[in-house]
Structure 1
Amino acid sequence: MCNRFSINNSFKNLWTTLHLPPKDSSTFHVCYNIVPGENVPIIHFQENQAKVTLMKWGLIPQLHSLENKVRFINAESENIHHKSFFRNLIIQNRCLIPMSGFYEWDHKTVPHQPYYFYLPYRKLFAIAGIWNATEIKGEVVYTFAVLTTQANFNVGCVHNRMPIIITPADHQRWLEDASFNINNLALPPPLYFYKISPKINDPHINEISLIHPLT
């Protein structure tokens, strides 16, 4: 499961870290509380080159519309080939979702305790995703979903699912090679994590204190 994450780096740092051409810094701002429905800069392969497009979090499958409110914020990587509306996307429409960290909640506690997960040195990293472009009322709407897998040891202490981290060595292959199997991805470094304030539960709060350890 993944329904909140953060991008704590400036737009300039984002492209430097992911080895992409710089983009206009006015199109995205640091966000500590990215929720479904928000626009996120997504890296995808189109017309034989890596591109960056602002896409709305919550995939709209082909032949669906905004009116029926069908959204997929996550997709289980183990089952994605068995669902007709995902099958072509995992081959043709792969993407990288930049993150500084993501949030999970421990459902064994009451109230549920939120945690923040991040890589050593707080490096920006990329998550596997799929995207789609759907024409609705004459407008092309770009949307995406996060691919998830069984949680590793660290995340498993809090939740049984986690987003799939793509290491820099696999960025290009993941985007460009449709035959590249998700099971062959290099293992990422272990994630660090700590308890954070329940303020993260409010989707309207966007401040750096959200990623501070709970004191």
Structure 2
Amino acid sequence: MCGRFANPLSLEQMRQAFHIAGRAPDWLPSWNIAPRQPVAVVRRHPASLDLRLDLLLWGLVPNWAHDMGRQPINARAETVATSGMFRAAFRSRRCLVPATAYYEWQAGPSPRQPWAFARRDGKPLALAAVWESWEYEGDILRSFAIVTTQANAATRSIHERMPVIIDDKDRDVWFGAPPAIAEHLLAPAPVEMLRAWRVGTRVNKVGHDGPDLLTPLAEDRLQE
């Protein structure tokens, strides 16, 4: 699963990296973004097709829900196109979540060892996600779930799942292609895309934040 990530990018950095048009919401950089928090998400405007940056709640509430109830933070790539929870969103409401790194916890004795994963080339990660709009008593809540897939050969020793990462060249397909075509993007990231390193357990607590959360414990790297 993907249950925590970092996005300390400024609004201007996200504008440039994702070609954002129009106004953007206030955004406070964070190195420890957790579920049930408002998150900067890139969506395509249905009329202009411009990319917009909005704040959405992490934890999807489908538009048919009677209450907030379950709020899944992840959607499995294997079933996102067919699941009753996600298929409508996958059909017409795909989005991207900007991040500079994501965290996973390695199985073992408590406290489990957290690892950080980021692109080797230093570019922001574009995490595949789907979003929904839910109305209750006149108020509208927009929320999302990150799509995950099986881990690649370089990361599965840490965790069996990883977020789907959409490469720059595939963004138009992700936003605009029919589901049957977009499904081809739901694959593990190439082994050479990511680097990984151990970080301290301060990241385990949602209240902790700051760039030190990404400081390596040592010069550990996954062997490719």
**Residues of 1 paired with 2:163 and 2:26: CA distance?**
25
Does the CA-based 8 Å contact 1:15-1:22 persist in structure 2?
Answer: no
Q: Matched residues in 1 for 2:85 and 2:186: separation?
A: 24
Look up the match of 1:209: 212
Partner of 2:83: 83
Contact 1:16 1:22 in 2 (8 A): no
Contact 2:166 2:185 in 1 (8 A): no
How much has 1:120 moved relative to structure 2?
A: 1.0
1:44 deviates by 1.4
Displacement of 1:94:
0.5
Residue identity matched to 2:37: E
**Would you say 1:156 and 2:156 are equivalent positions?**
yes
Partner residue of 2:221? none
State the AA in 1 paired with 2:149. T
Q: Deviations over 1:104-139 (max 9, x none)?
A: 000134321000000014321201110001001211
Q: Distance in 1 between matches of 2:146 and 2:3?
A: 9
- CA shift for structure 1 position 65: 4.5
Per the alignment, residue 147 of structure 1 pairs with 147
Q: Which residue is 1:29 aligned to?
A: 28
Which whole-Å CA distance do the structure 2 matches of 1:52 and 1:184 have between them?
22
Identity %: 29
Distance 1:184 1:3 in 2: 21
Q: Which runs of 5+ in 1 are unaligned?
A: none
**Mapped partners of 1:12, 1:184: distance in 2:** 27
State how far apart, in whole Å, the 1-side matches of 2:197 and 2:94 are: 31
Residue in structure 2 matched with residue 16 of structure 1 by the alignment? 16
Q: Distance in 1 between matches of 2:113 and 2:172?
A: 36
Stretch deviating more after TM superposition (88-97 or 106-115): 106-115
My pick for the range that moved more, 68-77 or 183-192, is 183-192
Residue segments in structure 2 that go unaligned for 5+ positions in a row: 219-224
Which one-letter code corresponds to 1:194 in the other structure? Answer: W
Instruction: Quote the Cα distance in structure 2 between the aligned partners of 1:209 and 1:126.
Output: 22
**Relative to total residues, which structure has the larger helix share, 1 or 2?**
1
1-structure distance, mates of 2:29, 2:151: 27
Give the match for residue 59 of structure 2: 58
Kindly provide the amino acid, as one letter, of the partner of residue 204 in structure 2. Answer: N
- Give the Å deviation of 1:11: 1.3
- The list of structure 1 runs, each at least 4 consecutive aligned residues, that deviate by more than 6 angstroms after superposition, is none
Aligned-partner residue type, residue 142 of structure 1: R
Q: Deviations over 1:44-81 (max 9, x none)?
A: 12323222211000000122244x53101001010123
Amino acid at match of 1:51: R
**How far apart in 2 are the matches of 1:122 and 1:184?**
21
Residue type of the partner of 1:80? Answer: V
